[in-house]
Amino acid sequence: MIKCEKLSRDFKIYTKESGLKGTLKSFVKREHFIKPAVIDFDLDIKTPGLLGLLGPNGSGKTTLMKMLTGIIVPSRGKVTVLGYKPSDRKNNFKKKISLVMGQKSQLIWDIPVMDSFLLFQKYYEIEEKLFKKKLHDLGERLDTIKLFHTPVRKLSLGERMKMEIMSCLLHEPQVIFLDEPTIGLDIVAQKKLRQFLKEYSEKKKPLIILTSHYMADVEALCDKIVLLLDGKKTFEGLIEDFKGRFKRKKTIVFYFDKPVKKKFKEWTKEFHCEWSANDSQLKVSVSDDRLKEVVIKAFNSFPVSDFHTEKVGIEEVMDEILSHC
């Protein structure tokens, strides 16, 4: 479905000294440097599913998405999506993919949402009866039917993102690119959108490539991830393998009958600790080999009423990786 070989993209960044002197100087000679955004990226996806694309700001995620959809032409390397060369932007190719960017709307701001949907119907050549059925089905599942005739600018951020998702699914694309689809949404809206995407993926079987700053999005939806750092692919595989590759840790949650924070400080300096507001609950991140030691010490020294362990989440793994970059 997607194949990339040594895919790379460089950007020419122009610089200018401040002030009038710098402006006049730039008329004669413009200084610039080359910034690589994606470097020798390889990827081979043969089957549908949910793939998470992770990385910090500036790692090349959005640039890669734009190359896969044909918005940006690669500097070097090869890429095919569904057998097409994306940068050719052939109509048949565009009818088989969708791109949603959380920070950029494809709906027309000042007109009702339905007018934008009708425009997409004509663009994708969706038969009238089928269009109405898809619109109704998606509207019911996302609870947006009552908002179809509201101007986009009058919608809340969560409502607008639901409409953006709807607009990208009307033509039932085979490959869906979601770039930060839950950015700015509250926790409830994020959960609802995740649940919808999971159900849609199971029912329609598209390939969905998702980028997100919310690790909960990736952990809830994706089985497989690709990690980009400084434009280079540094990991590709299952989420569980990703967690275990860097450090095997667990989180222990202790519950106390009374606040014990001051006493506890001395022997937890070496661990990452999170306290509850009233100091009666503590989360401690420890490596597997020290788990037993910490639990025994806590029970011997303090009024532990209960405890449980949790596997380290993908967010903690990402924090650890980025802290060493």
What one-character-per-residue DSSP string does 1-16 give? -EEEEEEEEEEEEEE-
Task: List, in sequence order, every residue forming a beta bridge with 307; answer none if it has no partner.
Answer: 254
What domains sit in the chain, N to C, each tagged with a CATH number?
Answer: 2-244 (3.40.50.300), 247-323 (3.30.70)
| Phi, psi (rounded to 5 degrees) for 46 | -105, -20
| Phi, psi (rounded to 5 degrees) for 251 | -110, 130
Closest CA to 39 of 321, 233, 237: 233
Distance (Å) of CA 232 to CA 41, 43, 63, 84, 109: 7, 12, 12, 24, 36
Tally the C-alpha atoms within 13 A of residue 299's C-alpha that lie toward its C-beta: 10
Give the other-Cβ count within 10 Å of 228's Cβ: 24
Q: What share of the chain has pLDDT > 70, as a percent?
A: 90
Residue ranges of alpha helices (H) inside 8-156 are 19-28, 61-69, 91-94, 113-124, 128-142
Over 80: is that where the pLDDT of 41 sits? yes
- The span from the CA of 306 to the CA of 241, in Å, is 30
Indicate the average pLDDT of the chain.
86
Q: Is 33 helix (H, G, I), strand (E, B) or coil?
A: strand
Q: pLDDT category, 34, cuts 50, 70, 90?
A: very high
Q: pLDDT category, 128, cuts 50, 70, 90?
A: very high
Global pTM?
A: 0.77
Whether the CB-CB separation of 60 and 38 falls below 8 Å is answered with yes
Host H or E run for residue 258 = none
pLDDT of residue 302: 76
Over residues 250-265, mean pLDDT:
75
- Rg (Cα) of the chain, in Å, rounded? 24
Over 80: is that where the pLDDT of 78 sits? yes
Q: pLDDT category, 12, cuts 50, 70, 90?
A: very high
- The span from the CA of 68 to the CA of 49, in Å, is 16
pLDDT of residue 172: 93
